[in-house]
Amino acid sequence: MHKIKCFECGSEITDPFLDACPKCGGILTIETDLDAVANLKPKDLREKPLNVWRYAPFLPVKCNVSLLEGGTPLYDCRALSKQLGVKEVYVKYEGANPTGSFKDRGMTVGVSKAIELGCQTVGCASTGNTSASLAAYAAKGGLNCVVLLPSGKVAAGKLAQAMFYGAKVVMVNGNFDDALNVVKSLADERVLYLLNSINPYRPEGQKTLAFEIVDQLNFEVPDRIIIPVGNAANIWAVYKALSEWKALGWIDKMPKLTGIQAEGAAPVAKAFKEGSSDFQPELNPETIATAIRIGNPASGRKALKAIYDTKGYSTTVTDAEILDAQKLLGRKEGVGVEPASAASIAGLVKLRNEGVIDSDERVVCVCTGNVLKDPDTVIKSCGNILNAEPNVTDVKRVIA
Ligand SMILES: Cc1ncc(COP(=O)(O)O)c(C=O)c1O
Ligand SMILES: N[C@@H](CCOP(=O)(O)O)C(=O)O
């Protein structure tokens, strides 16, 4: 049986509704019962379809709600690897999930847990994707859903999704960090069951992103996995997944986990630069990659552990580098990702140029969300629409 533990002081938590340690206030995590899976072999899992629930023995809940999340493509990006001079570059394309982001992996587990606990209403703060995903899974599970969004800073596709799936959408006059503080208080008052990634069950579902990468590479572990970092739970989830498989002897090494943040919202990357295992919150985070416009990442300390323990790396990329990388991936590989997701590609480009990434590496970039999430940014950054009269001659003229 799994246990809920405090990441900071190690205390065991028995109340499944808590999202912080009652003793020290630390963030929580799940201790997986590895004895229960000790006799399992990778081939036992591989008989099941490739999706989140292939890895059910490593998940702390049974499947109550699913939209067949996971099973996303791992693209072998040969043009990109040639251009950048890196032996192998893969993109794990999370935009192919049911609501278009990796959050669905966490939500199938989180909402399944909510149902198991008998909750009626679920809620979150969100820069967009978490709300879109929670709204869809709550609809599928027959639950009420409340989402708190930073006013004016949520991409159109994500806002449309949350509204479409029937969530109560509340715009908060503040940023994501402010909205998270409010929703935490609502959860403390049991107004709703909180399904941000500070809920320790959410990252458990997100572990499957890493399980799939290794599975799709036939258990040949990549040298490096590059991940955009915002509230910082996803890089932790990847670390936790691979640590569990390493403990079982299913893999023999850990990839260097490499966390990329936007320059204007980079507490984790700044802490890494200083060699610190703690970070200073950024009071006014700002970036075009609104999904990672987060100044006080709830899992920041977990992310730093993941990076240091794997001899990984962390750096920042500018908004211009993010937009260039987004276009590069679209135009070289035909893969459409939202700006935050392109941060992993921008990080690859930057770290290759700086010599941090070697030419002989096998690198996986996690591209967390679909290009259609944020059409306004794409239209602005790609510009250049041609206009013509409705006749062949004029169309030939403008395309010449
Ligand atoms: C598209 C996208 N990429 C990356 C992230 C960052 O993930 P995390 O908050 O787990 O670091 C988020 C959300 O935070 C996101 O929506
Ligand atoms: N990008 C996220 C923000 C963090 O949400 P989390 O619940 O995964 O920590 C979003 O889409 O809202």
pLDDT single digits (tens) 325-362: 999 999 999 999 999 999 999 999 999 999 999 999 99
One domain, residues 228 and 331: yes
Give the separation between CA 139 and CA 104, rounded to whole angstroms.
13
Residue type for 298, please?
A
State whether 318 and 339 are in the same domain: yes
Residues 176, 228 within the same domain: no
Structural element, H or E, at residue 194? strand 193-194
Whether the model pTM is above 0.90: yes
Answer yes or no: do 158 and 262 share one domain: no
Specify whether 269 is located in the same domain as 139.
Answer: no
**Binding pocket residue ranges, ligand 2, CB within 6 Å:** 103, 124, 126-130, 176, 196-197, 230-231, 233, 291
Please check whether residues 78 and 223 belong to one and the same domain.
yes
Cα(46) to centroid(ligand 2), Å: 30
**Residue 234 alpha carbon to ligand 1 centre in Å:** 7
Report in angstroms the alpha-carbon separations of 289 from 237, 264, 378, 392. 21, 10, 11, 40
Question: Is residue 72 a known part of a binding site?
Answer: no
Cα-to-centroid distance, 102 and ligand 2 (Å): 10
CA-nearest residue, atom 12 of ligand 2: 126
The residue whose CA has the least distance to atom 11 of ligand 1 is: 232
Q: How far is CA 301 from CA 228, 304, 306, in A?
A: 15, 5, 9
Is 173 labelled a binding residue? no
CATH code, 342: 3.40.50.1100
Q: Report which bound ligand comes closest to the CA of 198.
A: 2
Q: What is the domain count for the chain? A: 3
- Going residue by residue through the chain (400 aa), what tens digit of pLDDT does each one get? 999 999 999 999 999 999 999 999 999 999 999 999 999 999 999 999 999 999 999 999 999 999 999 999 999 999 999 999 999 999 999 999 999 999 999 999 999 999 999 999 999 999 999 999 999 999 999 999 999 999 999 999 999 999 999 999 999 999 999 999 999 999 999 999 999 999 999 999 999 999 999 999 999 999 999 999 999 999 999 999 999 999 999 999 999 999 999 999 999 999 999 999 999 999 999 999 999 999 999 999 999 999 999 999 999 999 999 999 999 999 999 999 999 999 999 999 999 999 999 999 999 999 999 999 999 999 999 988 999 999 999 999 999 9
Look at ligand 2, atom 9, and give the residue with the nearest C-alpha: 197
CA distance 226 to 217: 16
| Same-domain check for residues 261 and 346 | yes
Side chain identity at 85, as an amino acid letter? G
CA of 131 to the centre of ligand 1 (A): 12
The answer to whether the CB of 346 falls within 8 A of the CB of 80 is no
Residues 87 and 223 in one domain: yes
CA distances from 118 to 41, 62, 121, 270 (A): 34, 14, 9, 41
Domain of residue 27 covers 1-31
Q: 136 CA distance to ligand 2 centroid (A)?
A: 15
Probe residue for ligand 1, chosen from 91, 93, 102, 268 as the CB with the greatest number of ligand atoms within 8 Å: 102
129 labelled ligand-binding = yes
* Same domain? 156 vs 260: no
- Who's near 206: CB < 8 A, 6+ residues apart? 102, 105, 106, 197, 233, 234, 237, 238
In a domain, 50, yes or no: no
Q: Is 368 annotated as a binding residue?
A: yes
